[in-house]
């Protein structure tokens, strides 16, 4: 495996995520919203100080910082090793690259702002979905691709040699 071309994937994801967050921070103030498609899609600036869907916000700031820091490092090492392993199939590497780039984007947010910048805001009828960002989207797509490959790929049975 040539590593440099593969490293462009998580680097591109990271650049898109950080660029989109810089753009929205220059455009909106916290809580401010701009209509993109009335009744469906809005840009709404928010800061998620918790975990997924705003969970764990009840923890003290220091506890969240330690928890998210340790979890982020563990995830980075685990997924990074899989991503860089020679035997990792290309489809897995694409999935892992999306996950890594997104995780790095949200991790950098936590380091710089102690919160994750969210701004993609969708409404479906009477249901208002949680506000999220590009990093969250890349992570979700990476996880779905990884799970689909695991479910759909044929199992490779170990070869037993007879003497």
Active site residues: 118, 136
H helical segments located in the chain = 3-27, 61-84, 90-113, 134-152
Asked whether the beta carbons of 133 and 17 are under 8 A apart, the reply is yes
Beta-bridged to residue 128, according to DSSP, are: 123
Instruction: Report the largest interatomic distance among the alpha carbons of the chain, rounded to a whole angstrom.
Output: 73
* C-alpha distances in Å from residue 43, one per residue of 38, 73, 143: 11, 30, 25
């Amino acid at each position: 495996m040539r590593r440099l071309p593969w490293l462009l994937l998580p680097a591109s994801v990271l650049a898109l995520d950080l660029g989109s967050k810089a753009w929205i921070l220059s455009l909106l103030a916290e809580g401010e919203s701009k209509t993109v498609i009335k009744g469906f899609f809005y840009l709404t600036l928010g800061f998620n100080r918790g975990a997924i869907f705003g969970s764990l916000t009840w923890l003290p700031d220091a506890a969240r910082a330690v928890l998210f820091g340790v979890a982020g490092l563990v995830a980075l090492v685990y997924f990074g090793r899989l991503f860089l392993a020679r035997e990792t199939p290309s489809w897995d590497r694409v999935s892992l690259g999306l996950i890594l780039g997104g995780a790095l984007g949200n991790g950098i947010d936590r380091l710089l702002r102690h919160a994750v910048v969210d701004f993609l805001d969708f409404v479906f009828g009477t249901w208002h979905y949680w506000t999220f960002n590009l990093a969250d989207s890349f992570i979700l797509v990476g996880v779905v691709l990884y799970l689909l490959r695991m479910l759909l790929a044929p199992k490779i049975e170990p070869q037993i040699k007879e003497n």
